[in-house]
Amino acid sequence: MAKEKELEEKEEIRTPFKEFLMKFKKQKTAIAALAFLMLLVVFSIIGEMIVPYGVDEYDYSSVLQSPSQNHLFGTDEFGRDIFSRVILGARISLAVGLSSVTVGAVVGTILGLISGYYGGFIDSVIMRICDTLFAFPGTILAIGIMAILGPGIFNVVIAVAIFSAPSFARIVRSSTLSQKESVYVQAAKSLGASDGRILFKHILPGAMSEIIVYYTMNIGSSILTASSLSFLGMGAQAPSPEWGLQLSTGRAYVGLNWHMTFFPGLAIFLTVLSFNLLGDGLRDALDPKLTQ
């Protein structure tokens, strides 16, 4: 019959992870953002060791000074060095921001899994609650919760977690619903796997990429909400170096003392910006549609 010729094709074997790394490396802004965030993490951990002044070092002889060699970012109304306080504030702001969205993600994911998997009454209840929570504008809901719980950063974490959770619940629920009927879930069921096992070993991994994407999209806004709450006086309390709080006190001195609000605010901005750029970079790298 017909001759069949074969051409040798030597193609590199590219694993999905390698592809991801390649694409990620191309995003220079994301790398820069990552570098900045690593720096912040370093500050969070060894902050006290590297700052020139203490967080509460009053110095009444040098109040309200503009940036100078001694005080890179100037001093506040108590003579405290703003540069040191900004660096030391990194720990709190990062911790509050990250933990609140993480708690929200975890709670939301669990609710979403249960809601999607078991359906019925429990699903309706959970979804109704989520819908109602959605009816409140985010910050308003957070403020309302703070009004109930009282001030303090721990309550801020709870408030932001509560208002992040419903979105996660929704995403995970729809992923669960579509995976519920799939072949591998049916197979696991027929092998006698328990519900818990199915949910956590099979369905959850399938929803993971969506969860991660949504998580990265929300870290920035969680940090902003948390610092807004501190700015409004409901979150961190004096003498904490939390950035939002620094802006709140510095606000009275706007005019001649721009440095008091500028630097902590800049810190918030750069942090949120870095998370957003990082998130964008991650999403672009993970997106199969962008493969050539």
Partner 1 sequence: MQEKESDILLDIKNLHTYFFTDNGVVKSVDGVDITLKKGSTLGIVGESGSGKSVTALSVMNLLTGTKGKIVEGNIHLDGKDIVNISEEEKRKLRGGDIAMIFQEPMTSLNPVLKIGDQISEAIIEHFKTSKKEALDKTIEILKKISIPRAEKIVNEYPFQLSGGMRQRIMIAMALVCNPKVLIADEPTTALDVTIQAQILELMNELKKIVGTSVLFITHDLGVIAEICDEVVVMYCGRVVESGDVLSIFKKPRHPYTEGLLKSIPKLGEHVEILESIPGNVPNPKYMPKGCKFEPRCSKSFDKCREEEPPFFTYSNGQKSRCWLCKKEYGGEV
Partner 2 sequence: MLRYVIKRLLAVIPTLILISIFVFMFVRFIPGDPARRVAGPDATLEDVEMIRESLGLNKPVLDQYKDYMLGLLKGDMGTSLKTKRPVTYEIGLRYSNTVRLTISSLAWSVVFGIIIGVFSGKNRSKWQDYFGMTFAVSGISLPSFWLGLMLIQIFAVNLKLFPTVGADGLRSLVLPSITLGASVAAIIARFTRSSIIEIMKNDYIRTAHAKGLTERKIIWKHVFRNSMIPVVTVIGLQFGFLLGGSVVTESVFAFPGLGSLLIDSVNYRDYPMIQSLILIFSLHFVLINLLVDLLYAALNPEIKLQ
Q: Which amino acid is at 140?
A: I
Select the binding partner of residue 5 from partner 1, partner 2, none (C-beta < 5 to 8 A, by kind): partner 1
Select the binding partner of residue 3 from partner 1, partner 2, none (C-beta < 5 to 8 A, by kind): partner 1
For 131-134, which contacts have Cβ atoms below 8 Å and span 24 or more sequence positions? 133/162, 133/163, 133/165, 133/166, 134/166
Nearer to partner 2, 176 or 244 (CB): 244
For Cα atoms 101, 173, 188, give the angle at the middle one, nearest 5 degrees.
115
DSSP reduced 3-state for 75: strand
Binding mask 9-28 toward partner 1 (x if CB under 8 A, else -) reads x-------------------
Q: Which of 14, 18, 201, 251 binds partner 2 (CB under 8 A)?
A: 251
Select the binding partner of residue 289 from partner 1, partner 2, none (C-beta < 5 to 8 A, by kind): none
4 binds partner 1 (CB under 8 A): yes
The pair of structure tokens assigned to 252 is 């009275």
289 binds partner 1 (CB under 8 A): no
Query: Is the distance from CB of 164 to CB of 218 less than 8 angstroms?
Result: yes
5 binds partner 1 (CB under 8 A): yes
Nearer to partner 1, 11 or 181 (CB): 11
Spatial separation of the C-alpha atoms in residues 99 and 23, rounded to whole Å: 29
- Tell me the angle at which helices 258-286 and 204-231 cross, rounded to the nearest 10 degrees: 170
Select the binding partner of residue 9 from partner 2, partner 1, none (C-beta < 5 to 8 A, by kind): partner 1
Q: Which amino acid is at 28?
A: K
3 binds partner 1 (CB under 8 A): yes
Judged by the rule CB under 8 A, the positions of this chain that interact with partner 1 are 2-9, 292
